Every structure is written in structure tokens, then in C-alpha cells.
Chains A and B, each alone.
Chain A
Amino acid sequence: QDEVMTSSGTEKALSLLRRLPRVSIGNLGPNPGAHNEKRRGRGIYGGKTHGAGSGGSGQRQNFMRVGYETGNTPFYLRFSYQTYYKGHHLKLSYTPLCMGKLQMMIDTNRLRCDVPVDVTQLMATGLFSISPQQKEGGFMLENEGIDHFKATINIEVQWANEAVIASVERNGGFITTAYFDPLSLTAAIKPVEFFGRGIAIPRRMLPPQHLIDYYSDPKNRGYLADPAEVARERFLLAQKYGYELPDVNASPNKDILLERKDPRQIFFGLEPGWVVNLKDKVILKPTDPELKEHFAS
């Protein structure tokens, strides 16, 4: 007899396979339970109320209004006001720029150091987006990376704290905080678009009353502060933080470092009232005395 171990089941299966026609889609059927033959309920009892229960207001879909808490004052009516955003439309927000990122941009040549750095230059890197319409004021420098900040730059931002100012000045650089009103900021961040409008460069407007304090304080290196007081504060800050203040007159970039904008000026080297055309590469200046007076005020 056979000594090969074959079960009769296997033998049967194999013999079936030999005899029966080829397996194809037409011969196959699903395993029992593979297909869920769910049929939508139709009819009075086969329909089974479709989740509404039997009888009563549930089945009549008689729902109370959303939020109703069966009589007590509902949560959505309990608080007549909430002050989370009170006055938010009167406040500006600033794009944070860490000192570490600034150093990185300078090191990778993304940001030029051989010209004074302001909003226009920072936006020209293409790494930031500012929308003045959304009440954004510009850039604010953050503390992250002040310890290893090594660049000597002349930078103009919209907000800076003491530590940041110290880290910039320690390396012989200069920092100024300046306010740009929304229209001026729109011009400053996208100068090419602005010049395409064919209008005269406007005057930069003053800060609102609640910000004048900040921008006229020499401690913040405000652009409205007295330069003599700013120099004094520079000296005092060096003493406070314990670094030797480098002499600017000895540096080769003296002109660049000492360049400052007029409070009414938006672009370095361009005065209000001038019309710049990038197609013809010309600058047109007004001759009418009334216009001159207006743009010089």
C-alpha cells in the first residue's frame, strides 16, 4: 500500500481540480459573510423607523433648537460679552525675526550687509510676508541667538528690546526702531509694485499717540529720539552689559553704519515727492512750489 501520507480530503480536492473547468471570475463566489447585503428599509416594519424610534416626537423629528438646555440659560447665552479681543483692532502685530535667523541670512548671503538693512531689504530676501492691511507693523527682533550674533550691520526694524539692541551694538553695529504707517509700509515692502503705480513717493506719517512714547525713547533707539541721547544710551548700555563699545569712526563701513533715514522718508536715497519709473530708469522731481512745500513738510 501507499506509504505516502495523503489525507482523503486533499486527494478529493486535487481530483476536483483536475476534473473541473478552469477557475475564473465567472466560477467564483464570495465567502459567506463577505458581502453585507444591507438593504435600505422600506415599508412599515421592514423600514424600521430609520433611527427615529417608534412614535413620539423623535419620530416626528421634533427637535429643539441647537443649544437649548431644556429651560436653563444655555451656555451660548450665558456670557453677553467676552473681552479676549477688546481693542485688538487698535493694536499692531509684528513679524518676529530672531537674531539667529538674521545671522544665518547674512552668512548665506541672503541679506546684504553692505547697505543699511531696513524693511525693504528684509522683504527682498523673500523669506517673509507682511500684510499692512492686517494691522501688521513690520519686523520685531527677538532674543533667540543674541549670544552668537556676530555681524556688524546698520539695521532698522519696528520693535526691539534691550538685549537685542545690546547684541547689535556690541559688534559695532547700529539699530534704529522706526514706525511705518500702513500706506508707507505697503510701499516699503513692495517697492517695484509701488513704483509701477506711477505716483509720487508719499511722506511717512507719525506714529499714533500710544506708540509715540516708544519711538521717542532713546533707550529703544527710537527714530524720533534725540541722537545725542541715543549716543549716551549706547554708552550706558555697553556699561550695563559689560562690553567694550567699538569706535565707529575706525570702521571701514563708517558711511553705511551712520546712514539714517529722515522721519518722513520711506526709502534710503529717495525723498518724498519724487516719482521713480523703473521702465525708463528715471527719477522725476516736482517743480511746483506748492507741491515741494507739501512733500518737504
Chain B
Amino acid sequence: MLKMSLYRVIEAGYRRGGRRLSTHIAPLFQETTPTQQETFSENEEDIIEQKRNKSRLKQWHFAKYHSQIQELTDDEEQVLSLRFQRKLYGSYGAISGISSAKLWPSKEELATEKERESITYPHTVQEMINIAKEQKKQEEKLLKERQEDLVRKVAKLKEWKMEVNKRVAKQEKEAQEAKEKKERLIEEVRSILGYRIDPKDERFKEALLKKEMEDKKASKAAKKLARQQRLIERLTEASAEVPSAGRSSTDDEPNRDPPSNTSGSPEV
């Protein structure tokens, strides 16, 4: 059978709303090989063979049933996908006429595949094993560090507990003292005033203020006294060390009257 010359190629299409390419119903190309039914063979045998087919099946159904396949035309080879052509080979074998070169990845497909692999599997086996080992080591290291840290901290735990308790006790004590002091003041003021009085009252506050001033003076006097005592002690110590003749007793009396001002007061 002579193959007819190439004509304009129409794109692969669909017919009657179907989802599959209807190559057998509507040819995709302007030239087709004549179907079995159309052949007008000179050979008597072929004519008889055609007449023997009483199945009344459609040509494509008959072919499918008997696993027959027509070789693809040049146009069909160009238009139909590689995937489809490979499947034809897979189902029918060599009689499909598909060149075996199409079964392996084409240059473009190979390039794409290599690129995909380089991104999806960037490491070799050894590298991956090493990465896994490193990860494990890291995890163990972190764990170990944490454990050591905990051990160190647990050793100090008793000390920290004591500190906390001390601080709390101190705070409590201070609060208690302040409260007691306040109570004492109130009581003393009350005893001074002689009658029960509300702490918020004005008179109470005045009395409180007076009391505070007095307290301050007393504490100041006490401090001064304490300072003087210390001075005396220091001097006695110094005199004891130095065995030379003692000083005049007048020097030891701090409360001496200040010398009178002889410069004379200004005349009015």
C-alpha cells in the first residue's frame, strides 16, 4: 500500500463532546490510509477474506477485539504524544510500528529528569548518612548539655531555697517592725494626749508631728553623746599609749563655755 503524500496537519481534536481523541471517527489529518472496508483489492483472497467477516462490527471494534492496529501515519506520529505512542507499543508490541527509539527518554525529557533529580536528591548516599549522623550527634550533644546544666543547678538548689526563705523572713520582719512601731507611736501619743483619739484626726497628727520632732532631737542628742564617748575612749587610749606627761584635765572637758567675745559687740 503506497502512503499518500503529506497534507496540512490539523490539530488533534475531540468530537461529539467526548473526552478521548476520536481518531477513528474523525480523522485528524487531511489524509488517511484507506480503511479495510474501502480497499478494493485485486487479490481474490483479500476480497474473500473481507466477505468472510460477518461480525457486522464497526471496523475499530473489530480491530480492538482482535488486537489489530494500523501503523501510524507521519502526521499522527508528529501529533500524538510520546506517552500515547509508548503505550501503543506496550500493548501491541512491534506490529504497532512504533520506533523503539521513542521508548527511552528524549533529550529534553532526560534534561528535565536530571534537573529534577538534582533538586530533589541533592546529596549522595554517603552525604545523607553523614548528615544523619551529624544530626544525631547534635541532638545528643544538646541533651547532654542540658543534663549537665540541670545537675549543676540542682547542686545549688538548697542554697537558693535558703536564700529565698531568708529574704521572705526579712521582709516579713521589716513589715512586722514597721507595724509595731506605728502601733507604739499611736499608743504613746494617745497616752500623751490622755484620751482615745482617731489616728486620722488633725490633733492626733499634730501630736504625732511633735512627738516625731522630740524623737528626732532625742536621737540626735544620743548620737552626739555616743560620738563624744567614742572620742573620750580614743583619747584615753592615746594617752595610755603615750607615757609622757599627761595633759591638763581641762582639755578633757568638752562642755566648756565658749570664750567670751572680747571683740566687742557693735554699738547700736
State the A residues within 8 Å of B (CB).
195-200, 205-206, 209, 212-213, 216, 224, 263, 273, 275, 277, 279-280, 282, 284, 286, 288, 290-291, 294
Whether A212 contacts B89 in the complex (CB less than 8 A), given A275-B103, A286-B104, A288-B104, comes out as no
**Residues of chain B within 8 A of A279, CB atoms compared:** 90-93
Please measure, in the bound complex, the distance between the C-alpha atom of A216 and the C-alpha atom of B110, giving whole angstroms.
Answer: 29
Please measure, in the bound complex, the distance between the C-alpha atom of A275 and the C-alpha atom of B85, giving whole angstroms.
Answer: 14
* Contact in complex: A216, B129 (CB < 8 Å): yes
Residues of chain B in range 89-132 having any CB-CB distance to chain A below 8 Å:
89-94, 98, 100, 103-105, 110, 113-114, 117, 120-121, 125, 128-129, 131-132
**Residues of chain A within 8 A of B105, CB atoms compared:** 200, 291, 294
**Residues of chain A within 8 A of B92, CB atoms compared:** 279
* Contact in complex: B110, A199 (CB < 8 Å): no
Asked if B190 lies at the interface with its beta carbon under 8 angstroms from chain A, I say no
* Contact in complex: B94, A280 (CB < 8 Å): yes
Asked if B88 lies at the interface with its beta carbon under 8 angstroms from chain A, I say yes
Whether A198 contacts B86 in the complex (CB less than 8 A), given A209-B131, A213-B132, A291-B110, comes out as yes
Whether A291 contacts B104 in the complex (CB less than 8 A), given A197-B86, A198-B88, A206-B121, comes out as yes
How many A-B residue contacts, CB cutoff 8 Å? Answer: 71
Please measure, in the bound complex, the distance between the C-alpha atom of A216 and the C-alpha atom of B89, giving whole angstroms.
Answer: 39
Most buried by A among B90, B114, B132: B90
Most buried by B among A213, A263, A273: A213
Subset of 15 A-B contacts with CB under 8 Å: A195-B90, A196-B91, A197-B87, A198-B89, A200-B104, A205-B120, A206-B121, A206-B125, A212-B125, A212-B129, A213-B136, A273-B104, A280-B94, A294-B105, A294-B113
Shortest Cβ distance from B92 into A: residue: A279
Please measure, in the bound complex, the distance between the C-alpha atom of A21 and the C-alpha atom of B128, giving whole angstroms.
Answer: 99
State the B residues within 8 Å of A (CB).
85-94, 98, 100, 103-105, 110, 113-114, 117, 120-121, 125, 128-129, 131-132, 136
CB distance from B76 to the nearest CB of A (A): 16
Most buried by A among B88, B94, B113, B125: B125
Interface of A (DSSP majority class): loop
Please measure, in the bound complex, the distance between the C-alpha atom of A16 and the C-alpha atom of B88, giving whole angstroms.
Answer: 87
Interface of B (DSSP majority class): helix
**Residues of chain B within 8 A of A205, CB atoms compared:** 117, 120-121
Shortest Cβ distance from B136 into A: residue: A213
**Residues of chain B within 8 A of A291, CB atoms compared:** 104-105, 110
Please measure, in the bound complex, the distance between the C-alpha atom of A288 and the C-alpha atom of B102, giving whole angstroms.
Answer: 12
Please measure, in the bound complex, the distance between the C-alpha atom of A196 and the C-alpha atom of B86, giving whole angstroms.
Answer: 8
CB distance from B26 to the nearest CB of A (A): 26
Most buried by B among A195, A199, A290: A199
Whether A284 contacts B87 in the complex (CB less than 8 A), given A209-B128, A209-B132, comes out as no
CB distance from A246 to the nearest CB of B (A): 31
6 closest Cβ pairs, A-B complex: A198-B90, A198-B86, A279-B93, A280-B93, A198-B89, A196-B90
CB distance from A205 to the nearest CB of B (A): 6
* Contact in complex: B103, A284 (CB < 8 Å): yes
Whether A224 contacts B125 in the complex (CB less than 8 A), given A209-B132, A294-B110, A294-B114, comes out as yes
Please measure, in the bound complex, the distance between the C-alpha atom of A209 and the C-alpha atom of B188, giving whole angstroms.
Answer: 83
Partner of A277, one of B90, B104, B110: B90
* Contact in complex: A199, B129 (CB < 8 Å): no
CB distance from B93 to the nearest CB of A (A): 4
* Contact in complex: B100, A275 (CB < 8 Å): yes
Please measure, in the bound complex, the distance between the C-alpha atom of A285 and the C-alpha atom of B89, giving whole angstroms.
Answer: 15
**Residues of chain A within 8 A of B103, CB atoms compared:** 198-200, 275, 284
* Contact in complex: A196, B87 (CB < 8 Å): yes
* Contact in complex: B86, A199 (CB < 8 Å): yes
Partner of A275, one of B104, B117, B120, B131: B104
Please measure, in the bound complex, the distance between the C-alpha atom of A110 and the C-alpha atom of B24, giving whole angstroms.
Answer: 43
Shortest Cβ distance from B86 into A: residue: A198
Please measure, in the bound complex, the distance between the C-alpha atom of A241 and the C-alpha atom of B131, giving whole angstroms.
Answer: 32
CB distance from A226 to the nearest CB of B (A): 11
Please measure, in the bound complex, the distance between the C-alpha atom of A195 and the C-alpha atom of B86, giving whole angstroms.
Answer: 10
Shortest Cβ distance from B102 into A: residue: A198
Please measure, in the bound complex, the distance between the C-alpha atom of A212 and the C-alpha atom of B104, giving whole angstroms.
Answer: 30
**Residues of chain A within 8 A of B88, CB atoms compared:** 198
**Residues of chain B within 8 A of A209, CB atoms compared:** 128, 131-132
**Residues of chain A within 8 A of B132, CB atoms compared:** 209, 212-213, 216
**Residues of chain B within 8 A of A275, CB atoms compared:** 100, 103-104
Shortest Cβ distance from A290 into B: residue: B110
* Additional 5 contacts, C-beta under 8 A, given A199-B86, A291-B104: A196-B90, A200-B103, A205-B117, A279-B90, A290-B110
Please measure, in the bound complex, the distance between the C-alpha atom of A95 and the C-alpha atom of B129, giving whole angstroms.
Answer: 26
Please measure, in the bound complex, the distance between the C-alpha atom of A19 and the C-alpha atom of B86, giving whole angstroms.
Answer: 90
**Residues of chain B within 8 A of A288, CB atoms compared:** 104
**Residues of chain B within 8 A of A212, CB atoms compared:** 125, 128-129, 131-132
* Contact in complex: B89, A277 (CB < 8 Å): yes
